[in-house]
Structure 1
């Protein structure tokens, strides 16, 4: 799922989410709710960037309701390593204006 705008080790510029990003969000929503102790009314990706490492780190800004957003870091393993997707970090209390950056 790494885009051609992504160089190894560096993050791509944040852009619009694609269908792969939407699928990732569907898969990690229950894990995000568990980590935050909250139930999200919405879970809509609005921006994303990627970092190619031993797999791909996805940094995703997600609207969770009203003017409330979270930032996700999701690691996608290489297909030869099983291709699993894992929510590795979440930042709460974000706004639409907050920069989506490596964390």
Structure 2
């Protein structure tokens, strides 16, 4: 995340996917059982919270076919603090296009 002015609880601007977010998407996709011929995370937004991190990810799944996925990675697992909790898909929007912006208020 390059938005240095992001406020705790606020959403970052939309940015190209990096390796960390791509790995989170892969794990979340496995959990959700998502199967597409093409599944390429393209851009994302992130929200850092006291209890974890939320991600909105734009994923290419075909020729001008996209889906938007909301993923949560909790900082807490029960009453234990963990840095490596499994990501959980908490929302999916489909169909979307390349030009549709990632809007957290739509989830």
Q: Which runs of 5+ in 1 are unaligned?
A: 34-38
2:10 maps to what in 1? Answer: 10
Q: Which residue pairs with 1:89 in the alignment?
A: 91
Shift of 1:94: 0.2
Structure 1: which 4+ aligned runs deviate by more than 6 Å?
none
Find the aligned partners of 2:87 and 2:100 in 1 and give their Cα distance.
Answer: 25
Match of 2:27 in 1: 27
Deviations 1:18-57 (A, max 9, x none): 0011101111223152xxxxx3011101110101122000
The RMSD of aligned alpha carbons is: 1.6
Q: Which has the higher helix share?
A: 1
Where do 5+ consecutive residues of structure 2 fail to align? Answer: none
C-alpha deviations, 1:47-103, integer Å up to 9, x for none? 101011220000000001111000000000116246221000000010000011102
Aligned residues: 96
- TM-score w.r.t. length of structure 2: 0.81
TM-score (norm 1): 0.84
Q: Specify which structure has the higher proportion of strand.
A: 2
User: Equivalences for 1:1-103 in 2 at 5 Å?
Assistant: 3=1, 5=3, 6-30=6-30, 31=32, 33=34, 39-53=35-49, 54-78=51-75, 80-81=81-82, 83-102=85-104, 103=107
